[in-house]
Amino acid sequence: MKIPFSPPYIDDDVIREVTDSLRSGWITTGPKVKALEEEIADFICCPQAIAVNSWTSGAILSLKWFGLKAGDEVIVPAYTYCATAMAVMDCGATPVMVDINEDLTIDVEEVERAITNKTKAILPVDLAGQPCDYNKLRQIINKPEIQKLFNPENEIQKTLNRILLISDSAHSIGAKANGKNVAELVDIAVLSLHAVKNITSAEGGVICLNLPKQFNNESLKKWFKMMSLNGQTKDAFTKSQAGSWRYDIVEQGMKINMPDVNAAIALSQLQKYNYLLQERKRVYDRYRSFLQKYDWSILPYQNKDNTKQASYHLFPLRIKGISEKQRNEIINFMAEKEIATNVHYIPMPLLTLFKNKGYDINNYPKSFAVYKQEISLPLYPQLTNEEIDFVLENLVLAYESVINKL
């Protein structure tokens, strides 16, 4: 039995929607993207959504909108995919890394301690699809003494007059806290529609705007759309209509628009979101109920009072008492059985780029402790119960073989 880690969910409906785009005579940004943006905004209850070609480009554009520049700081967790920090660096600013909680999301007390008069934004990550503690983060940024520290340097920052809360919601489409979608709890949420994500467009991202009432989210969407297409006043679809050739370039934008042919995949998957979530939960629950029998397993955090509803993006299992080397051996044992597992994540301070910039893993003990014992098990709707049991059976064999080597 061969078990891949996270194959995309491609059924006949997805193929039909993509074929429809291919046959329509229009394959780049156009009606499918428009429909996807409207459906996502509706689904996660945010005023406006803008589809782009990745989470990374969406985050860069959002931070550029806020005027992020060299000398500014953005607080991020050390335990995430590198893109979280690299989006900040792409704007010339400095990511300030802090450690995580037991649920693998950013430690809000550490966030508060890390705020300085250079802090322009907080960029927490809904790791594995678990929403961060946004209520506490909001309380922090609204504290008078924290607001006083904020140093607005442009009209947008003056209008907000506090730190921007922008979430890395690459994993958490559809996740909720206290009945609210993540995008309702932050100023901007950026989703990823990368191939391994719960909803995918092969590559893609969505900027979800929920800025407070002093901003006009509708006109901001127009600005983001224009900036995602080189700062061009007319989108390609409109410009392609007979006689509609003239355009202007009014700002230095980026070329990060999502093509219709990609949007078609996500559009079709989104219509089945509830089914896909239910199937992810089936896999997740089957792993949990089996693994709770083993005292060596540290199961993914589950919110006890049900105030949080995760999107079941990953199953980040931890194995008590093992070394990093033993974790790697378990992964290799599983790989020999053709079961692909993964590690989410190598903390950023362990990666060469960040090490060379002076980030030191010793400052992030919780991230390192999680990393060295973490193994993400395959989790996707297509996984059958028989396949799940095969993964579990081999995980137990792998653990026993590695431990008995001692």
Give residues in contact with ligand PLP (CB under 6 A).
54-56, 80-81, 83-84, 125, 168, 170-171, 192, 194, 205
Cβ-defined contacts of 147-156 (< 8 Å, 24+): 149/115, 149/116, 149/117, 149/119, 150/117, 150/119, 151/117, 151/118, 153/67, 154/67, 156/65, 156/66, 156/67
Give 284 or 399: the residue with its C-beta nearer to ligand PLP. Answer: 284
The token duo for 7 is 């194959």
Task: Give Cβ neighbours of residue 111 (< 8 Å, ≥ 6 apart).
Answer: 75, 98, 122, 124, 137, 140
CB of 83: closest distance to ligand PLP in angstroms? Answer: 4
- Do 383 and 1 touch, CB atoms closer than 8 A? no
- C-alpha–C-alpha distance, residues 53 and 119, integer Å: 27
- Do 180 and 186 touch, CB atoms closer than 8 A? no
Give 76 or 398: the residue with its C-beta nearer to ligand PLP. Answer: 76
CB of 158: closest distance to ligand PLP in angstroms? Answer: 29
CB of 205: closest distance to ligand PLP in angstroms? Answer: 5
- Do 41 and 208 touch, CB atoms closer than 8 A? yes
- Nearest partner of 175 among 343, 271, 333, 313, judged by Cα: 313
CB of 262: closest distance to ligand PLP in angstroms? Answer: 12
Give 91 or 160: the residue with its C-beta nearer to ligand PLP. Answer: 91
CB of 172: closest distance to ligand PLP in angstroms? Answer: 9
Positive/negative CA dihedral, 237, 87, 210, 276 = positive
The token duo for 192 is 């990823």
Order across the sheet with 176-177: list the strands: 180-181, 176-177, 308-309
Rounded to the nearest 5 percent, the helix, strand and coil shares of the chain are 45, 15, 40
Give 115 or 190: the residue with its C-beta nearer to ligand PLP. Answer: 190
CB of 194: closest distance to ligand PLP in angstroms? Answer: 4
Give 81 or 333: the residue with its C-beta nearer to ligand PLP. Answer: 81
CB of 191: closest distance to ligand PLP in angstroms? Answer: 8
CB of 125: closest distance to ligand PLP in angstroms? Answer: 5
Nearest to ligand PLP by Cβ — which residue? 55
Give 64 or 157: the residue with its C-beta nearer to ligand PLP. Answer: 64
Give 300 or 329: the residue with its C-beta nearer to ligand PLP. Answer: 300
Give 326 or 376: the residue with its C-beta nearer to ligand PLP. Answer: 376
- In sequence order, the β-bridge partners of residue 106 are 100
The token duo for 202 is 């092969």
